[in-house]
Structures are given as C-alpha cells and as structure tokens.
Amino acid sequence: MKYTEGYIRSIEEYKLEAFVRQYHRKTSSSGLDWKQLVQYAASHTVNQYFSLPVSRRTPEAIAHFVEKYWTNRVNKFQSPEHFRLIKMNVTAKLTRFLGQAKHLTPMVLFESFPTYIEELGLEIAYIVQALSVNAAGINAPYTIHKYAVDVTTDMLLLVQHLTVVCCSKAFASLPQSIVVNCVTSGCSYVCYAKDMDLEKSLDYIRLMVSAMAETDSIQDRSRATGFHPAFLDEVLS
C-alpha cells in the first residue's frame, strides 16, 4: 500500500479485506488467525484442482491438496478438536463445490490484475480466483467465482463493489454474475449484472479508501450512506 500526502495511491485486495474484517469485528490486527490459514489452503486447493485435466478432478485429488496445503499451526485454532473439525468440514464443502464445477474450464485462474482506477487516482491489485466464459465470442458474458472462508455481509459488499470496479477496467465490461462460495458454511451467494452499478461501486471504494487513510470505521460510514450488498439470500444445497 502506497501513500502520497495522506492519500492511498495503490493497494492490494487482501489489505482491503483485512481492513473490512478488522472493523467488522472491532478488533486490531494481531497476525494470522485460523480463517486466514484455512483460506490459504482452500485457495491453493481450488487452483490446483482446476489446473488438472477433467479426468483427474476427483474427491481424492481435493483431499490430497487440502492435506498438502493445510496448516500445522494447531495453536491458531480454538482447540485440537476445532482444528480437526474445520479441516473435515472444509474438505467436505470443497469436495461438493468443486465436484459441481468439475467440467468448468476457467479462462482466468488465480491471476493478479494491477488495475488503475482513473476516477479514484488509485491502483488496485485485484486477484481473479476463477473466471469462466458463459458463451462463445470475443465479448462473451463471463462469471467471476470466489471461494472464501470468512463470508459476512460486509465482505460480500466489498466483493461486489471491488469486482465491479476492477472488472470494468481490466476487462472493459461487467461480469454477468459474481458467485461467492463459502467453504465453511457451504452457502453460495450470487450477484447478477442487473444489480451492479459502476458509479455506486466507485463511490463505495472511494469511501472505503478514504476511511482507511483516516483509520475510520468503514462499516459505520457505509451504513450511513445506505450501501447494501446486492447478493441474493444465501442458497443452501
């Protein structure tokens, strides 16, 4: 993150997420917690899974990748039993989510797009976990897929507006939909193009970056401004 005369000029997506998480819980940052460690394992598992040919995308492959990237820092969890249960639960949820997407062929997979937002005078390093194209052609509609551990209303709000702003600049169009899969609850959340508004998303990012620079609470300020995530209610399967 870079500052110039009190203004943020560049920032990474994960720092925006950490900021939202910190103020949502009204706590200060104290290093890695178990959710961040689980996110690391889940992200690598998704990346490795979609890098395989379809014939090798099996539940056994998912279990192997989870085991490979899972943390051994048991002390970061509430107890050894909590450590074990979270690992079993995340493995099961990833097996279901990825199994349902077995034949998906992402056009973009865990790539970082440093995107300059002229309206904000700001560069954001935005990471696309997975982007799938929904039809043939140069300007085909596409979907952004995200697999996350810590899914709250505030995080969905960030995902929605950050994706709209960065995709509009990086790909010159908005996604047809944004799908967020929570690997702890098993819920999926979907935001459709009809609920995306570039100007509102720019306003939200501007507000949040300003709050970061001032070390204010983005939650209090965003609620006062009337921002609400457009994701549909959670879908349980």
Each residue's pLDDT tens digit, 45-88? 999 999 999 999 999 999 999 999 999 999 999 999 999 999 99
Q: Bridge partners of 2? A: 10
Q: Indicate the pairing of strand 122-133 with strand 108-117.
A: antiparallel
If asked whether residues 11 and 48 sit together in one domain, one would say no
Predicted model pTM: 0.84
What total number of domains does the chain contain? 2
Which among 73, 100, 127 is the end of a domain?
Answer: 100
Pick the last residue of a domain from 44, 71, 100. Answer: 100
Residues 152 and 166 in one domain: yes
Whether residue 23 is contained in a domain is answered as yes
91 and 113 share one domain: no
Whether residue 123 is found in the same domain as residue 212: yes
Say how far apart CA 182 and CA 188 lie, in whole Å. 6
Q: Are residues 143 and 198 in the same domain?
A: yes
Q: What does the alpha-carbon distance between residue 9 and residue 109 come to, in Å, rounded to a whole number?
A: 26
pLDDT in tens, 152-184: 999 999 999 999 999 999 999 999 999 999 999
User: What is the spatial distance between Cα 60 and Cα 166, in angstroms, rounded to a whole number?
Assistant: 35
Residue 212 sits in which domain range?
2-29+106-225
Is 144:179 a contact under the CB 8 Å cutoff? yes
Task: Supply the DSSP symbol for 31.
Answer: S
Q: What is the DSSP letter of 136?
A: S
Residue 234 lies in a domain: no
- Residue 235: DSSP 8-state: B
- How wide is the angle at C-alpha 132 spanned by C-alphas 130 and 138, nearest 5°? 130
Q: Which of 58, 83, 100 is the last residue of a domain?
A: 100
Domain assignment present for 235: no
In this predicted model, what pLDDT tens digit does every residue of 184-223 receive, in sequence order? 999 999 999 999 999 999 999 988 888 777 754 444 555 5
Two tokens, residue 34: 């178990």
